[in-house]
Amino acid sequence: MATTRKPVGAKERADHVADLVSEACEKLVDLANEWFALNDREGMLHARQMLNSKEVTLMLSARVAESGLSHIALNLLRTETPMPRPYFEIQVPMLPWTLGPPDTPFDDRSLPSDRGSKPKAPRG
């Protein structure tokens, strides 16, 4: 059986990537929470219920379109659906409080003042 070789400084480099991803994920979660608090509280409560019941798991994904535009997303993945094998992956600890307690109610006082949010479009 052939041995797997590791790149030079693999652990340190993986730790550095994890720090960057952790910070980016925290900022994206904060932004998403604020957006949903302003625009779709019901959607946020539903997502938190699914996360809390372990019905879904949160995944951060990034891709670059042919145009060069980056797409960075938080995805809710059904836990019963198996994930495809990744092309490349590192596994590092993440801070579990990044998402905040799922049952914490929104506090309007913690949000910036009115930013001209638009009324929610009817679902249908």
Residue 108 clears pLDDT 50, i.e. is over it: no
pLDDT score, position 59: 85
Question: ∠31-93-7 over CA atoms, to 5°?
Answer: 110
Better pLDDT: 1 or 40: 40
Span 105-118, average pLDDT:
44
Share of the chain above pLDDT 90, in %: 23
The encoded tokens of residue 17 equal 């990537």
Long-range contacts of 53-59 (CB under 8 A, 24+ apart): 54/79, 55/79, 58/99
pLDDT score, position 42: 94
pLDDT score, position 112: 44
Residue 94 clears pLDDT 70, i.e. is over it: no
- Residue closest to 29 by CA, chosen among 57, 60, 53, 56: 60
User: Which of the 8 DSSP states describes residue 102?
Assistant: T
* pTM (2 d.p.): 0.62
Q: Please give, one letter per residue, the 3-state secondary structure of 60-75.
A: EEEEECCCCCEEEEEE
Span 67-74, average pLDDT:
90
Residue 91 clears pLDDT 80, i.e. is over it: no
Q: Over the chain, what is the mean pLDDT?
A: 77
